[in-house]
Structure 1
Amino acid sequence: MSDFRLKAFYSVAKNLSFTKASQELFVSQPAVTRHVHELESMYQVRLFDRKGNTISLTEAGRVLMEHCERILVEYRKLEYDMHQLNNECAGELRLGASTTISRYVLPPVLARFTERYPKINVSLIDMNSRHIENALQENSIDVGMVEGVFRVPNLRYEPFLCDELVPVACCSGKWNVPEELSLEEFVRMPLVLRERGSGTLDAIEMALSEKGLKLSSLNVRMYLGSTESIKSFLRYSDCMGIVSVFAVDRELRSGEFRVVDVDGLRFKRHFCFVSAQGQEADTALNFIQFVKDMVKNV
């Protein structure tokens, strides 16, 4: 129903790239260029300034961008409401989830959700918590699911699932890590942790601060960009990692990894929905309720 020319323009304007827009929309770059040219011809304006390989919005482009954000939101609402008249849920749902949630929590949820609502077109991007918050502010996604403990003031956070981060070691390591460590012993242990900006590292730093410790107090050998990278690293090293218990469920049950208890130190957090205040799409609200019901029944 919506004018694809507006979608094409909005994607180019948001990414400041015709190439990225074509990848995001799954159409050819010449097709994106043609749609933008049609808008420029219709309004008799230039929407982008081109300098070499870079582009920027003109004044007309900025005006159209402001209207596009509102129009595309209304198009999604219209599609949802019209299908609701026939007791159908349809429309577009753009999700963003931090890595731990997207890989270890969401797969069974999305499988059931898309089975129940086959006419809702779901897309998911996998980024760390800080990038998810940025995507919401840029209107690139409808709702995010994050694991961080820091909060952006103009966004709404709603916990939906409790998670625990656990120190783990590989059982086949060269040296035997004790099953329990004192806080002093833990500080000396070589660690591999998630990168800056990840919700996992935020939660670790908060738990440490409650014990009067800083991240710099730890013996961190390496920061890695994903939990899977940490798990792979642990298989070839004698370091410990700190990861979500959801991420190592299979390895713990198989006996490949084991949890190491640290006296007096617990890393707990909540996975949260995050959305723009008062701007939640109907499909997003429907998804949020679906997840709440599913978690409640687990």
Structure 2
Amino acid sequence: MSDFRLRVFAAVARHLSFTKAGHELFISQPAVTKHIRELEAQYGQRLLARSGSKVLLTEAGRLLLGHAEAVAASAQALDEQLHGLRDPDEAAGRLRLGASTTLSQYVLPAWLPAFQARYPRVQLSLLNVNSERIAEALPRGELDLGFVEGRSHSRDLHYELLLPDELVAVRRATPAGPPPTPLPLADALAHPLVLRERGSGTLEVLEFALRERKIKLSELRVACYLSSTEAIKGYLEAAPAALGFVSRQALRRELAAGLLEVVPIVGLALPRQFEAVWVQGQPLARPAQRFLSFVQERAKGLVEG
């Protein structure tokens, strides 16, 4: 059995917030503080440090977090094995997943066969819809678990980091190759732009970054809005003057084949996060719990690799 205080500490470390950790575990903020203080007293050193309004991990805290994650993974594996011994059919059930385009086309499909081999009784379906649609479908019970890639969060949903990502500017490959130096932002935005549709996490990240620079989408020369990354890549291959913004995860084949090339832009970094999402305060069904743990393991291996 794992120490509940380790779960509390791991939640604080994930969110870097006592309040958010309390919401996740359904305990009060004073209770969170009490558990952390008990751990610090037990180990005789600070695990967390405050810098203004921020919560930071100390070196001891980072060490303990690794241990806490290992304990949690071991406890979950034991729980699954024991439940499987008690009732093999409990490993069965319906699992309705919803994932935004980049995840559903370029990340999750490669992981699904191994999950199905481990849990053959789970009846799995994966719906490809944008982040906004997933946020609407989860509270209505149309999905069991979602995966999104935008910046907007609903207070009715719980979000958990899965994998970091980055959007990059891309164009049809040229004989000279990518620009030897990054393009000025104004020069890049003067191209005809091919963008994802409204409601997509990809467009939201770009729009937010431009807004910070006092630039509105309505001021840009947008050639068209398309509903999928594949459509954007196909358009760019046929339009040498155009520029699009695409996840690095979606470009591996085209870059390797010399069909498209990344165009660096001065002062424009577009990092984002892929996140798992489900209804706040609502426990995940066992198939969804299994899938979440499985993809978190895969994502961790991808980052470390």
**TM-score for the superposition, normalised by structure 2:** 0.67
The answer as to whether partners of 2:177 and 2:261 remain within 8 angstroms in 1 is: no
How far residue 184 of structure 1 moved from its aligned partner, in angstroms, is: 1.8
- Asked whether the 8 Å contact 2:194–2:222 carries over to 1, the reply is yes
1:279-294 mapped onto 2 (5 Å cutoff): 279=282, 280-294=284-298
Q: Which residue of 1 aligns with 2:223?
A: 221
- Is the contact between residue 236 and residue 242 of structure 2 (CA under 8 Å) also seen in structure 1? yes
Match of 1:271 in 2: 274
Secondary structure of the residue aligned to 2:268 is coil
Per-residue CA deviation, residues 44-86 of structure 1 (Å, 9 max, x unaligned), is xxxxxxxxxxxxxxxxxxxxxxxxxxxxxxxxxxxxx985623
Q: Which amino acid aligns with 1:93?
A: L
Q: Over residues 165-211 of structure 1, what are the superposed CA-to-partner deviations in whole Å (9 max), with x where a residue is unaligned?
A: 110010159x9874521012122121100000111001111111222
Deviations along 1:15-47, one digit per CA (max 9) or x if unpaired, are xxxxxxxxxxxxxxxxxxxxxxxxxxxxxxxxx
1:296 aligns with 2:300: yes
* Match of residue 184 from structure 1: 186
Question: d(CA) in 2 for partners of 1:216 and 1:84?
Answer: 59
Question: What is the SS of the residue equivalent to 1:262?
Answer: coil
Q: Which residue of 2 aligns with 1:137?
A: 139
Residue 295 of structure 2 aligns with an amino acid whose one-letter code is V
Q: Which structure 2 residues correspond to residues 77-92 of structure 1 after superposition, within 5 A?
A: 85-86=86-87, 89-92=91-94
Q: How many Å apart are 1:239 and its aligned residue? A: 0.3
Residue of structure 1 in register with 2:200 after alignment:
198
Corresponding residue number in structure 1 for 2:250: 247
**Where in structure 2 are the equivalents of 1:61-210 lying within 5 Å?**
85-86=86-87, 89-172=91-174, 178-179=179-180, 180-210=182-212
Following TM superposition, by how much is the alpha carbon of 1:264 offset from its aligned partner in structure 2, in angstroms?
A: 0.6
How far apart in 2 are the matches of 1:130 and 1:99?
Answer: 12
CA distance in 1, matches of 2:163, 2:254: 21
The CA deviation at 1:106 is: 0.6
- Native 8 Å contact 2:178 2:262 kept in 1: no
Contact 1:83 1:90 in 2 (8 A): no
- CA–CA distance in structure 2, aligned partners of residues 140 and 84 of structure 1: 31
Cα separation, partners in 2 of 1:89 and 1:168, compared to 1, 3 Å: same
Aligned residues: 217
Letter in 2 for 1:263: V
CA distance in 2, matches of 1:242, 1:200: 8
Taking the aligned partners of 2:84 and 2:134, their CA distance within structure 1 comes to: 29
Contact 1:169–1:177 (8 Å) recurs in 2? no
Residue deviations 1:77-127, cap 9 Å, x none? xxxx98562356221111011111100001111111111111111111111
TM-score, structure 1 normalization: 0.69
In structure 1, what residue type is equivalent to 2:291?
Answer: F
Instruction: Provide the rounded CA distance (Å) in 1 between the counterparts of 2:291 and 2:298.
Output: 10
Q: Structure 1 pair 115/195, CA: closer, same or farther in 2 (3 Å)? A: same
Contact 1:187–1:217 (CA under 8 A) maintained in structure 2:
no
